[in-house]
A and B are shown apart, each in its own frame.
Chain A
């Protein structure tokens, strides 16, 4: 414990150095803007700026602090286009659209933006605190999470997402199935055989997550907007000056804490990141809510839970990277590359060999979270006004940005055709009253589920009992069962009680 405090003290000394402090603030600000752009998320933000940070000749700790600031800022900023435009900037922000965008449409854009900023702040800070005190212990737990445990985690995620089953369960299941089908495209990770690629090399590696998100969500939303405008049914939104109140925060305080906890623990597992974390947090919240009828129509809890979770997972993903040198997410893989670029070897030795970098980075995350809250709250008004930009200007601008965002990551024109095709497909699905979130979740969870199931079975040589041999798995299966069963049982009991009570009530 003493080591943690003295480490943190020396870390704050590094992070509070005026130049580094400036970099944290600058990184957070730029990161927020990058994250706010549809199509450009933390991964490409950091990847694009890495060579610039290197080229400027900063000291390693300064460069890493800058990149981490951008990473954090982009995670914060990702919520903005989700809430305002219904176009998620990256994978982790998909769940944010579910209740965030309805809130904005109900004239509560300012409230949604400020509430999600606070939820992000709590999630982010929560995970940094857990990381600084329990990092090494948590990391060694995380690597003992075996492929069969991941299978159990995915079952749990699917179970908690059963709550997404909306007005039409068949359509939701079909949507999830479409997601699973999209996930099976590409070279099979186990045997190296190409599946459903039809000889097109561009989809040999599968369809990139970003392409699916931008296509199905972003492009479909734009087509929908254009259609509404052509039909003259588009409502212009008034400038709203709503802001989150203390009463609102008191209402969602447990939601935010639960979301933070879920996000952090899913974040530390290598291979699962913000998208799984926010989905599980949303599902659990909806499942455990007493009255979940407002979810999907602008419930504050449905916004706070995924936002707290995706920022907590951003911190959680740092744990295996810093303590073991194993990246827990795509973005931390780039940060890891950045450390190597500066000849810093991440892992247990980093805390001894280069404490100024390890602790400086951790201290800068504390500062970054506070800075992001301070930067984001006053900007709420400015961002909320984005909605007042006339649609004929906003729609093409978003379309252009989404195309640039997708193209800048991979520089492959094929992806542009893909997002266009997926956009049209997504628009058709919307016309048919399909919800798009299950498609995305089927896509993410399906891939992870398949890879890990097959890994587990290769380990056991085809013996299925491997799936229930560890306590982690068993505990997760029990939780999955509870998540499905408890609301049903509670609901039935409540209904029974209501029926008992009703005859006594005067007719």
Chain B
């Protein structure tokens, strides 16, 4: 009887978690501001595996879903502004939110950008049996009737998935508001929608296509990069080659709270710079479907702020903000 009671009580208390706070980087943590399984999760896994040898203890990945990063940036601007242990994953989507004011009062000046994990590019994808053989076929159909092609992706109107489609429309001076865009709940559902025939064109990412490349189910019509990408994407033409000025890089990286002491910030920068030099890092980034982009510290912070500025410009053109 007593045993049973003790056992049940033990069983109930065996999963206590205790947070700790200190000024040293003794509990490295990567915050993925989303539910598990998505791009932020992936970004944190890269830090977790890539920085394994740089810290004594294992890096913990925690999840903080909410408003594509809004909850995280809010927390790191209110209570954890100087947490030396935690880095937060972000992507171009987060930069876009800063640019369009989706994070409320918090903008690019309210965080300390730390380092990049890698980069990816937008991709125009159709089902294998689609009548559209090239990007030009899609664009011609759009020119004829801007609402005639059902496009879709994993984000809402105004998200970066929508921006990719909007930039394509813009490159031919078409009004993005006239396109027929279907917002799915994440890339997985959007791919299911494409394969199932609900949408005709999916504006996804090049990286997520790695796992679908050899299956013969989908074709990538164009990569939204400046130049051709390395293998296994070398055969994919860029939108620029086809004559459309539509470039959408997707940077993935990490930021910290803005009041983190320089000492801790520099330690993190050094850790990333040391990791960048290893072959394991390059292999890791490639395995996760990203292309190399090694930026850290001040240089990276400046680059990100420039990107936010550029996005503000595009968002204005697309009519997202005044």
Contact = CB atoms under 8 A, between A and B. Distances in A.
A34 interface: yes
Q: Tell me the interface secondary structure of chain A in the complex.
A: helix
A63 interface: no
Contact of A204 (B62, B71, B191, B196): B71
Interface string A357-394: 00000000000000000000000001101101100010
Contacts of B217: 348
Contacts of B249: none
A451 B159 CA distance: 16
A398 B64 CA distance: 23
Interface stretch (A110-118, A281-289, A408-416): A408-416
Interface in A154-200: 187-192, 199
Nearest to B59: A51
Q: What band does the interface of chain A fall in when counting residues whose beta carbon is under 8 Å from B?
A: 35 or more
Interface stretch (A142-150, A259-267, A435-443, A494-502): A142-150
A191 B181 CA distance: 10
B67 A204 contact: yes
A346 interface: yes
Q: What band does the interface of chain B fall in when counting residues whose beta carbon is under 8 Å from A?
A: 35 or more
B287 interface: yes
Q: Tell me the interface secondary structure of chain B in the complex.
A: mixed
A43 interface: yes
Contact of B12 (A201, A343, A401): A401
B5 A389 contact: yes
B168 to A, nearest CB: 17
Interface string B207-235: 00011101101000000000000000000
A336 B215 contact: no
Contacts of A271: 185, 189
A270 B189 contact: yes
Contacts of A34: 15
A208 B34 CA distance: 12
B157 A333 contact: no
A37 interface: yes
A455 B184 contact: yes
Given A33-B14, A51-B61, A192-B159, A348 B215 contact: yes
A187 B68 CA distance: 10
Given A47-B63, A143-B192, A408-B15, 15 more contacts: A189-B156, A201-B71, A270-B189, A336-B37, A337-B42, A345-B210, A349-B214, A385-B4, A385-B5, A386-B8, A407-B17, A455-B183, A458-B152, A458-B183, A461-B147
Interface of B: 1, 4-5, 7-9, 11-17, 31, 35-38, 41-42, 45, 48, 58, 60-68, 70-71, 73-75, 79, 102-104, 147, 150, 152, 156-159, 162, 180-185, 188-189, 191-193, 195-199, 210-212, 214-215, 217, 287-288
